[in-house]
């Protein structure tokens, strides 16, 4: 599981050859995890605290191209 970003309240990661729809994982420092859709940044599954989710979605908005490129790279394997 490649970690794409280490933030103050969470990690942003993607798994190789993961299922659709395109998404990323938010790994909270407290052990909780959530999946967030690349399209619209909506919560797909799981739960993290509010600070981690806000930090993750803010980071994702600023790095949308990187996330889409990584999704495409990882799904081509």
Three-class DSSP category at 36: strand
pLDDT tens for residues 9-54?
Answer: 999 999 988 889 999 999 999 999 999 999 999 999 999 999 999 9
Prediction pTM value: 0.92
The predicted pLDDT at position 1 comes to: 73
Compute CA 12 distance to the chain's CA centroid, rounded to the nearest angstrom. Answer: 5
């Amino acid at each position: 599981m490649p970690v794409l970003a280490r933030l103050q309240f969470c990690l942003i990661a993607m798994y190789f050859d993961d299922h659709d729809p395109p998404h990323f994982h938010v790994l909270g420092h407290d052990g909780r995890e959530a999946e967030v859709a690349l399209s619209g940044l909506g919560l797909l599954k799981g739960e993290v605290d509010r600070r981690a989710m806000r930090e993750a979605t803010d980071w994702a908005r600023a790095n949308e191209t990187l996330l889409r490129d990584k999704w495409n790279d990882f799904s081509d394997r």
